[in-house]
Amino acid sequence: MAPRKLAAGNWKMNGDLASLTEIDQLCKAHPEPGCDMLICPPALLVYPMVASAQTHALMVGGQDCHAKESGAHTGDISAAQLRDAGADYVILGHSERRADHGETNADVAAKAAAAHQAGLIAIICVGETEAQRDAGETLSVIGDQIAGSLPERSDSANTVIAYEPVWAIGTGRTPTNEQIAEVHGFIRRQLDGRTGDAVNLRLLYGGSVKPVNAAEIFAIPNVDGALVGGASLKAADFGGIVAALEAAG
Ligand code: PEP
């Protein structure tokens, strides 16, 4: 059976305890969502968000984790600590972490292996820069990221891939439907032949998804949901995207 579609929100370095009212509103508007509904807040808000979402169908995730389980790594948090706080998911290899922290595909794979070990579902992000797209390198960049960032035992139960063109993140620009379909189809083919049922894992599109363009994006083949930045901060906006995904079936 195909896994449920996923609407995932990435709050990045936004939000505080007062923002949990948005979670309350989101859960009240979608008490039994017809898709998986996830918010990844800053690490400090994971535990309080889990506590306030307890009676609702909202899952909570981290935005990064260390590859080691514990130790002398000041400022970092481990996958096991995220799990202990109640997280179900962790975003890994977001383009902002690849750019700001120099994360390589090998780093992402090591973190994803740690996430799997801790019982977290890893959302592994891939995507080309504008210069790479202009140079015709999109599929080779994505192919390298998929080959290098997924650990051995990645399957549909422990891994999600988010295709996020770097030039579409936070810019209001989105690829054409054909461009999204081309990359998602390419990723699906890359996963074919890997061990387990990797070919069935969920592929999210991310980059300037809003309530107004969500339905069109969800109608594209091989799009199993979205990873949403800016539009995940407000319950009404994210709820609109959840509703579009529910309608897409
Ligand atoms: C993101 O950063 O993962 C993202 C998709 O951001 P936005 O929706 O704001 O473009």
Q: What is the pTM (predicted TM-score) of this model?
A: 0.97
pLDDT score, position 53:
84
pLDDT score, position 2:
65
Measured from CB, residues less than 6 Å from any atom of ligand 1 are 10, 164, 169-170, 206-209, 227-231
First to last CA, the chain: 14
Any idea what the CATH number is for the domain that residue 198 is in? 3.20.20.70
Q: Is residue 104 part of a domain?
A: yes
C-alpha 168 to ligand 1 mean position (Å):
8
Each residue's pLDDT tens digit, 154-166: 999 999 999 999 9
C-alpha 119 to ligand 1 mean position (Å):
25
Percent of the chain beyond pLDDT 70? 98
Number of structural domains found in the chain? 1
Structure tokens at 18: 């007062």
CB 94 within 8 A of CB 126: no
Say how far apart CA 209 and CA 8 lie, in whole Å.
11
Domain limits for position 118: 6-248
pLDDT over threshold 90, residue 113: yes
- Kind of pairing between the strands at 59-62 and 36-40: parallel
CB 123 within 8 A of CB 188: no
Q: Which of 209, 212, 217, 234 for a ligand 1 pocket mutation test, highest count of atoms within 8 Å of Cβ?
A: 209
Say how far apart CA 69 and CA 8 lie, in whole Å.
25
Return the residue whose CA atom lies nearest to atom 1 of ligand 1. 229
Closest to 215 (Cα-Cα) out of 235, 242, 180: 242
Q: Is residue 1 part of a domain?
A: no
Return the residue whose CA atom lies nearest to atom 6 of ligand 1. 229
